[in-house]
Amino acid sequence: MAKDKKQPRPKAEPPKGFRDYFGAEVIERQQMLDKIAAVYRLHGFDPLETAAVETVEALGKFLPDVDRPNAGVFAWQEDEGEGGTWLALRYDMTAPLARVAAQFRNDLPSPYRRYTMGPVWRNEKPGPGRFRQFYQCDADTVGAPSVAADAEICGMLADALEAVGIERGDYIVRVNNRKVLNGVLEVAGLSGDDRETERGIVLRAIDKLDRLGEAGVRALLGAGREDESGDFTKGAGLGDAQADVVMGFMAAKRDTGAATVARLRDLVGGSEIGTAGVDELETIADLLAAQGYGPDRIVIDPSVVRGLGYYTGPVFEAELTFEILDEKGRPRQFGSVAGGGRYDDLVKRFTGQEVPATGVSIGVDRLLAALRAKGRLTGETQGPVIVTVMDRDRMADYQAMAATLRAAGIRAEVYLGNPKNFGNQLKYADKRQSTVAVIQGGDEAARGVVLLKDLILGAKLAQDATLEEWKSQPAQLEVPLADLVAQVRAMLDRHP
Amino acid sequence: MAKDKKQPRPKAEPPKGFRDYFGAEVIERQQMLDKIAAVYRLHGFDPLETAAVETVEALGKFLPDVDRPNAGVFAWQEDEGEGGTWLALRYDMTAPLARVAAQFRNDLPSPYRRYTMGPVWRNEKPGPGRFRQFYQCDADTVGAPSVAADAEICGMLADALEAVGIERGDYIVRVNNRKVLNGVLEVAGLSGDDRETERGIVLRAIDKLDRLGEAGVRALLGAGREDESGDFTKGAGLGDAQADVVMGFMAAKRDTGAATVARLRDLVGGSEIGTAGVDELETIADLLAAQGYGPDRIVIDPSVVRGLGYYTGPVFEAELTFEILDEKGRPRQFGSVAGGGRYDDLVKRFTGQEVPATGVSIGVDRLLAALRAKGRLTGETQGPVIVTVMDRDRMADYQAMAATLRAAGIRAEVYLGNPKNFGNQLKYADKRQSTVAVIQGGDEAARGVVLLKDLILGAKLAQDATLEEWKSQPAQLEVPLADLVAQVRAMLDRHP
């Protein structure tokens, strides 16, 4: 108390970039994650929940010589002084998986299929719609070198999207392969150790296809490109024939299925790794076809470049293909909601061993936003039944009514604020989005009845009506107390 | 890569005091929390999920003049330099609720009933079974001065315990009231501002009843107590008559129901606050009785002292009354799994306003441990069906079998490790706790059949049998491929 006087009052707000989730937001996310988990489990994946905190060492961030570890993570030093361990909040789910896969490598089944869902933290500059804590929902298979594992992840991703309410036709899973790109680079003459700079330029150029268009990318593959401001970006210096190979790689998606594969095989004809990559794509396509995943759901698409720099084999991305209106009311494609691929050095940092892994991460908030935009969120819209308090000495009776409703599975609560002003009770019910209010004054109690108020029908009067006006409305019904449950249920059912 | 050579390999382990949860542990906790959430929702409580991170200021810890905030929380300074905000991981769910209740006081319904479930973090010395991240599951009502809110929480707590599988008779919710204790202290002559030291001694003495016994407590109420080692603890200096009042307060639980209330009323007869406390206890008992919560579930019990120093009115505690075996095989009472009470200054730090609140926190890990001890956890025990790989060129066929099983709702996966050693596939199935393995070699494929292996019946052979031995076991069945789903289901049903 003495402190209160000395200190200014604290601000009642979360740190910048953090937010709260209320009511339906929490329930809708949980429902969506439950549906995804059911699909993952059906595929034999087991849940894993690691702690939010890892050592900075295990996360793979290296202590800088300055006072704090790399930006991008929230980190702190455990004990004072030089020797204290640096701890950090996890920034993704893959780093903790790597630690677990290394730590429990003798105990876990191999291959190890696991899924995990939870928050991750990024120490980045917050902005509108950009938060520093957000959910990820990952599934990974550790220890399976076969591309059958990648195919399984792709099929499971399609199943998960349908399970949460994205209809077939409203999404597409695109699959590419880093090895094919490597083959393309080889054919384009960029495979030597001395051509790393040029390979980097090509990778970045491919990644800019959407923004720069074909002409812009081709300029970057060749001598270079001058942008609108006059700035010049040096190109990779490829000749026309070499650039054609790269452009052809990106254009191969114009065909479909077998034709895409044939065109890619042709492009990388001279490259061993490229041919291996095409073989893998073909195997994935065959495996998926055998399980009934047609090109309406999963396609081979060399234009998928996101993450190509990070992954080592197959790369996949799930995109929602319907349009939504952006904040300015313009229609736009919803875009990517999940991505993943194969990365073959998961636990190497810990054990020195190469362990193959492949996985996918669903952007929980984006997928939720998509479902909201499509009207597919099934979170409750009806609030609880409110048992109003007409006579504060009869609280036990009101509590008994609520208990009776709950025993029948109906969400119900007694108004627990100051009951003096009846209008406040109805305003409360309104704020709770309640459909039904139960009312019993002394007169009703004497006659063994209750009044049921349909609050949706009666909503227009909520601001200023008197109790007598309320009683006269057709939205109000007098029923015997013994019929409470049946009559409340009937009223709730009017507003499904 | 270069870094790997320079740096020693990181240790593959979580920070001290943190742990991972695998498979059934995750599922069982989620199932338990889902059941509790359903009860809370039925009572009209809405979920709230705040971020893990709050400002130290909002959490109510004050920056010390040393380099780091108070011990007990994980905290770090946001930006370098003097002016950087200190952030911290939440250490409970009440502090974030206070911040939310203050921040959104004009938008939230009042009273605001909310529940929340999630991890909290404590920067304490870890020990065996003591972790620095653990789950809490709280329900609170903010803005309801009436003890009807406290009664509701007590009843809801009883319902929640039964919902997760604690049978009636295996738990008891005990209710006490801080005001009765205040009345007792007043009657004992300890109400003056100058008697704070003595009140503290009495509170601590009451809290030690279990450990010291009645004689020990009485010594502390009087002149003082010398322990076995010869150390002397100064007492509160009460005379015999005054000490009788305090001892009578603790002993009042030997009666039940109305008799307890009558005895307490008698004890605090001269005290206004004491009488108010007894009235509140009586009201709570009446409200609970009206909803059908008898003394087999909820009792008035003045011996509940945990948290009496913190709370301002009713205090409650849920205890499991059955015995379990401790780590040394000795039977002991399971003890407390939840506690709570009324605290009337929730948002005062932020707004200056007094806002009444009451709530309960369930110890998630303890309750899970109790359910485990009682064999009440319903997490799956059967692993997925494993479709083995006899011929790696026929992976598409195996994937199709798994897809067929999954389409029928059966958890199934194809073995994705190196298929060369069939024994390894069966060891994998064993590790996965699978009940059924599906086997199809070339011969079976030609005849359109599959072999189903009952792995539980066949478990004894898992270590060293050859494929031929496996085939000859009665635990193995050859069925037409078309009957795959029906026959697998029948085999799974053998082991419910």
Chain A with chain B: Cβ pairs closer than 8 A:
292
Most confidently modeled range among A118-132, A247-261, A451-465, B91-105: B91-105
Give the mean pLDDT of chain A.
88
Mean pLDDT of A438-445: 95
Tokens 């009485």 found at: B218
A33-45 pLDDT, tens per residue? 999 999 999 999 9
Q: Which chain A positions have a beta carbon within 8 Å of B143's beta carbon?
A: 417
Q: Which residues of chain B from 241 to 270 reach within 8 Å of chain A, CB to CB? A: none
Residue B302 has pLDDT above 70, yes or no: yes
A223-240 pLDDT, tens per residue? 999 888 888 989 999 999
Mean pLDDT of B28-50: 96
- Which among A13, A47, A416 is the nearest to B23, CB-wise? A47
Output the pTM of the full model: 0.90
Q: Which residues of chain A from 87 to 126 reach within 8 Å of chain B, CB to CB? A: 87, 89, 99-100, 102-103, 109-111, 113, 119, 121
Q: Is B291 on the interface with A (CB under 8 A)?
A: yes
B46-77 pLDDT, tens per residue? 999 999 999 988 987 544 434 444 568 899 98
Confidence band (pLDDT; 50, 70, 90) for B4? Answer: very low
Question: What CATH topology corresponds to A23-373?
Answer: BirA Bifunctional Protein; domain 2 (3.30.930)
Nearest to A434 by CA among A425, A446, A442, A445: A425
Tokens 């195997």 found at: A283
Residue A317 has pLDDT above 80, yes or no: yes
What 3-state DSSP class applies to A171? Answer: strand
Q: What is the ipTM of this complex?
A: 0.89
Q: What is the pLDDT of residue A333?
A: 82
Q: What is the pLDDT of residue A63?
A: 40
Residue B472 has pLDDT above 90, yes or no: no
**For testing the chain A interface, which of B5, B63, B416 should be mutated: the one with the most A CBs within 10 Å?**
B416
H helices within B252-354, ranges in order?
257-267, 272-290, 348-351
Sequence letter at residue A467: L
Residue A425 has pLDDT above 50, yes or no: yes
Residues of chain B with CATH 3.30.930.10: 23-373
Q: Is A394 on the interface with B (CB under 8 A)?
A: no
Give the mean pLDDT of chain B.
88
Chain A residue closest in CA terms to B430: A109
Residue A62 has pLDDT above 50, yes or no: no
Residue A360 has pLDDT above 70, yes or no: yes
Q: What is the pLDDT of residue A65?
A: 39
Are B414 and A43 within 8 A, CB to CB?
no
Residues of chain A with CATH 3.40.50.800: 385-494
Q: How far apart are CA B467 and CA B389, in angstroms?
A: 13
Angle at B321 between CA B318 and CA B325, to 5 degrees: 120
Q: What is the pLDDT of residue B230?
A: 87
Confidence band (pLDDT; 50, 70, 90) for A140? Answer: very high
Residue A220 has pLDDT above 50, yes or no: yes
Confidence band (pLDDT; 50, 70, 90) for B314? Answer: very high
The Cα-based distances of A485 to A401, A480, A494 in angstroms read: 9, 10, 15
Residue A82 has pLDDT above 70, yes or no: no
Residue A4 has pLDDT above 50, yes or no: no
Are B413 and A144 within 8 A, CB to CB?
no
Q: What is the pLDDT of residue B346?
A: 82
Work out the number of other CB atoms within 10 angstroms of the CB of residue A241.
10
Q: Which residues of chain B from 332 to 391 reach within 8 Å of chain A, CB to CB? A: 347-352, 383-384, 386
Query: Are the CB atoms for A301 and A319 separated by under 8 Å?
Result: no
Q: What is the DSSP string of A303-329?
A: T--TTTTT-SSEEEEEEEEEEEE-TTS
Question: Quick one: tokens of B270?
Answer: 């001269």
Q: Which chain A positions have a beta carbon within 8 Å of B351's beta carbon?
A: 9, 12
Q: What is the pLDDT of residue B251?
A: 81
Tokens 């892994």 found at: A357
Are B20 and A409 within 8 A, CB to CB?
no
Q: Nearest CA of chain A to the CA of B212: how many Å?
A: 33
Are A10 and B58 within 8 A, CB to CB?
yes
Q: Is B455 on the interface with A (CB under 8 A)?
A: no
Question: What CATH topology corresponds to B385-494?
Answer: Rossmann fold (3.40.50)
Confidence band (pLDDT; 50, 70, 90) for A334? Answer: confident
